[in-house]
A and B are shown apart, each in its own frame.
Chain A
């Protein structure tokens, strides 16, 4: 197995269709295949062991991904938000490497030890329009396809290992070959160093859906591109959707007439945001996709029918499904385990564990985190309801232990968000002499809204056990998120603990 199989099939099935568009540049599947072959030759000649990329979305991303697969090297998309010193530390871990860099970064990084640095435009000039090569990639399914450094919100970045067998199994298990109509176009705005960015490329290519790249996200650019390119499909993280909805609400025309399907994931979607989006675009199909880097992207989906049924229902058990991540893919098994490792029944909270061909659960240089039966403990807490819908509580490591009682921040956050004045919030545990940990909350009030600390404490006390009432509440203009929508909970915790001002 090799990722190149996906592209090769696309070339035989619909080689003359447009595979990817970036600005005014575009490549057909055949042109992408030929460029990947030429780029693979560059990688082979450079004697690199890894092929890295430090750049926003551009044609160099799919070319780099498939060239790496062709040349039998891991593809390592790096976070372009990192400073040169941080990039230097990561580059040392993957040397000798071939690094395609954003034009403005290439000069500063030119002297990186063991790294052949090539600016994006130079790279594209060398590989575009090159004559085709005979297919000649390795078929070792266990070879590494992609290395993704984790965001390091909880320590030094780890390199998650995704092998060809994981990603190819994911695509074969979740996408129908050539199923996209000729008019379909997917807008890719997640960065290449995010698993969703890699999955978007491979899924769209196998489906035959034209990829339209957005180099950097802004709500205005996203909306403008969606209209101009007649985008039919898109994936966004929750913070992106929130901004798109806000930006559209300020326009006279709120429509996105071509958008048939919008999927979202990568973090918890606030209920008000998805409800507003569904109101704005009633004919769009919404899908919530839950997945992790270590599972080669999506493992569970809440599909369009579930969204509509939940939004239309008065039954609280059905209505709450809008906050669920849906049911596992047919090719994936999910179970909830208790602290002692035993499997838990419906509605019981524990750790989400997952098994399937697409599940890697592996980091470079460490043992696999899969157990003997192939189960991967995600470190996400959650439960499955009687109908098989999966609900997430948040990261297990974020659980607050107050006087021996475990509480999930998500439950308290959900209640706070129901308050009309609260636009966003984060609940964390802070050190407490009496209880071990105490509940604290950072609150962002909506524009023109007002509530006191006492109001919000009373609000929670009326709805949850009093032990869950935040002992400390502070107001903020905004909460710290990274650019892929992940709340930087450790920072909130440090701030509310008084460790940083």
Chain B
């Protein structure tokens, strides 16, 4: 469990997924990917773990994933085979609300 800060990068312990925290609740959150806790992007993944079959839907590059109340938002900066969850509840893909191109 940890307090997340926007701009923090996390990576999956079991696949290539990397995310950046875009929004975080003011509370402790445990993010997981592929069924295992995510780790700091610079850390080394523990060995011997594998993706849990119930968390293997994969992540998509450049997509945003949010929790039910929208307080936690993760941006996928590297895609992988595991799927994201917070507190054991799967995160869902956030619908893009396109802004007009301004530059």
Chain A residue contacts of B100, Cβ below 8 A: 261, 263, 285, 287, 301, 303-304
Chain B residue contacts of A285, Cβ below 8 A: 100
Asked if A9 contacts B61 (CB within 8 A), the reply is yes
Asked if B62 contacts A297 (CB within 8 A), the reply is no
Question: Which of B29-37, B43-51, B72-80, B81-89 faces chain A?
Answer: B72-80
Q: A12-B78, A176-B96, A357-B6 in contact; A203/B61 too (CB < 8 A)?
A: no
A137 CB to closest chain B CB (Å) equals: 13
Asked if B102 contacts A263 (CB within 8 A), the reply is yes
Chain A residue contacts of B63, Cβ below 8 A: 177
Q: A9-B62, A12-B79, A13-B61 in contact; A174/B102 too (CB < 8 A)?
A: yes
A266 CB to closest chain B CB (Å) equals: 10
Chain B residue contacts of A141, Cβ below 8 A: 7
Give the CA-CA distance A186 to B103 in the complex, in Å. 9
Q: A1-B7, A139-B9, A179-B98 in contact; A199/B79 too (CB < 8 A)?
A: no
Does residue B20 face the partner (Cβ distance < 8 Å to A)? yes
Chain A residue contacts of B27, Cβ below 8 A: none
A169-185 Cβ-contact flags toward B at 8 Å (1 or 0): 00010111111000000
Does residue A265 face the partner (Cβ distance < 8 Å to B)? yes
Asked if A297 contacts B96 (CB within 8 A), the reply is no
Counting contact residues on chain B (CB < 8 A from A), the size range is: 20 to 34
Asked if B102 contacts A265 (CB within 8 A), the reply is yes
Does residue A245 face the partner (Cβ distance < 8 Å to B)? no
A50 CB to closest chain B CB (Å) equals: 24
A287 CB to closest chain B CB (Å) equals: 4
Asked if B103 contacts A235 (CB within 8 A), the reply is yes
The winner among A165, A177, A265, A304 for most chain B CB atoms within 10 A is A177
Asked if A301 contacts B102 (CB within 8 A), the reply is yes
Asked if B62 contacts A289 (CB within 8 A), the reply is no
Asked if A174 contacts B77 (CB within 8 A), the reply is no
A388 CB to closest chain B CB (Å) equals: 15
**CB pairs A–B below 8 angstroms (19 shown):** A5-B77, A9-B61, A172-B20, A172-B22, A174-B102, A177-B62, A178-B62, A186-B101, A196-B103, A263-B100, A263-B101, A263-B102, A265-B103, A298-B102, A301-B99, A303-B99, A303-B100, A329-B99, A357-B6
Q: What is A's interface to B at a CB cutoff of 8 Å?
A: 1, 5, 8-9, 12-13, 139, 141, 165, 172, 174-179, 186, 196, 199-200, 203, 207, 209, 233, 235, 261, 263, 265, 285, 287, 289, 291, 297-298, 301, 303-304, 329-330, 357
Q: What is B's interface to A at a CB cutoff of 8 Å?
A: 6-7, 9, 20, 22, 41, 61-63, 75, 77-79, 96-103
